[in-house]
Amino acid sequence: MMRISMSLPKKLLSEFDEVLKDRGYQSRSKGIRDALKDYIVRYQWMNEMEGERIGIIAVIYDHHYTGVMEDLADIQHDYRDYINAVMHVHMTDKYCLEVVVVKGDVGYIRNLTEKMMRLKGVDHVRLTSTATGQHLDHE
């Protein structure tokens, strides 16, 4: 085992500890290891997808963070050929949710998702997708 140290916002650590307690973890280190494994598996899953996909990207962000709305809009304009719809929801006084419906080559969808993930002020991004369903056509 390697020992590391990390800095976390107090609220995030508190929420993580609550999840660990609810799930019956005896060790914060074990919980962090499991969370990191989950993060890696999700990343690998996203990178292994191929071909045409349809899906949604859920983005939660702090709309008070300077420039984040403009940055999200700029990225969405750059990828407009792959975006079918966007829904904006005001969650709290601070946070907004955008649900972006995407369709097209998974390489572009992956790039779009990762660009939004890297933005300052964005707290959470989750891509959910499936094959386009062309195999369901009965023509």
Of the candidates 117, 120, 130, 135, the one whose C-alpha atom is nearest the C-alpha of residue 50 is 130
- CA 75 to CA 81: how far, in whole Å? 12
In the prediction, which pLDDT does 137 show? 47
Whole-model pTM: value is: 0.72
What pLDDT does residue 70 have? 97
Residue whose entry in the numeric block shows the structure tokens 């990828």:
79
Alpha-carbon gap, residue 71 to 76, rounded angstroms:
9
The tens place of each residue's pLDDT in the chain, 139 residues long, gives 888 889 989 998 999 999 999 999 999 999 998 888 887 777 767 677 778 889 999 999 999 999 999 999 999 999 999 999 999 999 999 999 999 999 999 999 999 999 999 999 999 999 988 877 654 444 4
Sign of CA dihedral 61, 67, 70, 76: negative
Residue 92 to residue 63: CA distance in whole angstroms? 10
Beta bridge partners of 129: 55
pLDDT for res 134? 55
- Residue 37 has a pLDDT of 85
Distance between CA atoms of 6 and 81, rounded to whole angstroms?
Answer: 40
Helix, strand, coil percent values for the chain (each to nearest 5): 45, 30, 25
